[in-house]
Amino acid sequence: MRSSPDGGGRAWCALAAVLAVGAALAFGRESTAFDWQPSLALAQPWRAFSAAFIHYSALHLSANLAGAVLVGALGFFARVPSPVALAWLVAWPLTQLGLLARPDLLHYGGLSGVLHAGAACVAVHLVVDARGPQRAIGALLLVALSIKVLSETPWGPALRHPSGWDIATAPFAHTTGLIAGVLATLLAEATLRLHRAKGLQRSPPLPLGGRGAQRGGSDPETSLAEQGRGAQQGGSDPVHASASERHPHLDTVAVVVLILCCFLWGLNQVAAKAALPEIPALWQATLRSAGAAILVWLWAGRRGIALFARDYPHDYPEVEAVLMSHAHRLTAVTDGAGNTVSYTLDNAGHKTGGGGQSLAKCCAALASNAALAPEPNKSYMLAAAQACSVAVGAGASNAAVLAAVQGALKGAGMPGSCK
């Protein structure tokens, strides 16, 4: 994902802190003086901002403060730029203004609608501006928000009284927050892209060497030569290395995935409890399991992984090597000339063979794989193991033994120890 202009979501965290601190300071004050009231929308438009700070109980406040911390952390680890934080700021009053569509909601207060808007802002930003796993995270987050909002039936009564809460909730505020966050972020992303396009048109070309910023290039971080080196590493981003590279610490993607998993696990419990009066627990578990199975199947299909094919050792050379090493106690050393010599050890730890043991290992691997392989590969491998043993016993050369094995296999997989 592109780097954040503000250094990694600091503007986003500042806005989340304003919401949390404002809510804490406003707790205990007269709610009717600051909450949202549709009849006062025109006369006192500032209530579109102040309503977010009003909470009607300690439980209401603590839940929304926890949500503010979560949404703030989500934006920080996603490294959302300042324009997306600005989009959240714009979505803040729009969330309350959207409640004009429900004039029967006479009073409203709380951060929940604005927090839904913030989560939607991060999700849309990741979908539009990120790449690879981060884009998938954004899409999953947006889908989860949509499912949650729809499950609350915002078209139903203006207020709901969920069990375990000492206040009534307004599902429609969550809907307006989601819509406001999506629209505001799409506008911010469109503005960002337009600004980037104009900047690229005005900037001179990158030099062939050195830092682009030192020569007036359009990218302050890399030169054209450095971008070429990044592309040779196989990554989709020319500045970074391949996505398969291992890191010694958790990177942004890993942290965001962990936070999102915790968020979805918590959301799952809340959603299950809220839907329990209408959907029995067994049906909920069935639907969740079926949905998860479909997602795993789609993921495996996209990666070309066969979920229902039977595995046997030669499909996994590393596993096969471990099994064979334990079965035959194979040992390999390198002599002074650089040649690898293989031999086995008996129970006393003495050598029982020389360099010819590599062919014996091939024969043993064929017999071992045949025991687990389906037909007709099983018959082919047994025939290949027998041909291998006969050829080795007759003192045939390595090339002759391998030729006999390949002919007997008839296209079945050859163990790694025979290659």
- DSSP H helices, 218-356, are 224-232, 252-275, 281-303, 317-328
Sign, CA torsion 258/253/197/85: positive
- Judge whether 350 and 403 are in contact, CB under 8 Å: no
pLDDT digits (tens, 9 = 90+) for 290-313: 878 878 877 887 777 777 765 554
Whose structure tokens read 């796993």? 133
Q: How many CB atoms lie within 10 A of CB 259?
A: 17
Between 41 and 409, the more confident residue is: 41
B/e letters for 318-346, b = 16+ CB within 10 Å, e = fewer, are eebbeebeeebebeeeeeeeeeeebbbee
pLDDT digits (tens, 9 = 90+) for 232-279: 444 444 334 444 466 677 777 777 778 878 887 887 778 778 777 877
* Measured distance CA(114)–CA(23) in Å, rounded: 12
Q: What percent of the chain has pLDDT over 90?
A: 31
Q: Quick one: pLDDT band at residue 358, thresholds 50, 70, 90? A: low
Residue 321's pLDDT is what?
54
Q: Is the pLDDT of residue 203 over 80?
A: no
* Measured distance CA(145)–CA(66) in Å, rounded: 17
Start-to-end CA span in the chain (Å)? 41
* Measured distance CA(382)–CA(380) in Å, rounded: 6
Which of these ranges, 34-48, 194-208, 374-388, has the smallest mean pLDDT? 194-208
The predicted model gives 154-160 an average pLDDT of 90
Q: Is the pLDDT of residue 96 over 90?
A: yes
Query: Would you report the helix, strand and coil content of the chain in percent, each value rounded to 5?
Result: 60, 5, 35
Residue 8's pLDDT is what?
63
Beta bridge partners of 330: 344
pLDDT digits (tens, 9 = 90+) for 107-116: 999 999 999 9
Residue 230's pLDDT is what?
44
CA neighbor of 380 nearest in space, from 305, 326, 312: 312
Q: Is the pLDDT of residue 220 over 50?
A: no
Residue 324's pLDDT is what?
53
- Judge whether 377 and 412 are in contact, CB under 8 Å: yes
Residue 380's pLDDT is what?
82
Residue 13's pLDDT is what?
92
Distances (CA, A) of 23 to 6, 34, 76: 25, 12, 20
The predicted model gives 353-364 an average pLDDT of 64
Residue 186's pLDDT is what?
92
Distances (CA, A) of 38 to 100, 108, 371, 372: 6, 9, 76, 72
Residue 201's pLDDT is what?
58
* Measured distance CA(137)–CA(139) in Å, rounded: 5
- Helix (H, G, I), strand (E, B), or coil: what is residue 343? strand
Q: Is the pLDDT of residue 188 over 80?
A: yes
pTM over 0.75: no
Residue 236's pLDDT is what?
42
pLDDT digits (tens, 9 = 90+) for 316-340: 554 455 545 544 444 544 444 454 4
Residue 406's pLDDT is what?
78
Q: Quick one: pLDDT band at residue 226, thresholds 50, 70, 90? A: very low
- Helix (H, G, I), strand (E, B), or coil: what is residue 345? strand
Cα angle 305, 306, 311; round to 5: 110
What single DSSP character describes residue 307?
S
Task: Report the C-alpha dihedral over residues 182, 187, 191, 196, rounded to 10 degrees.
Answer: 30
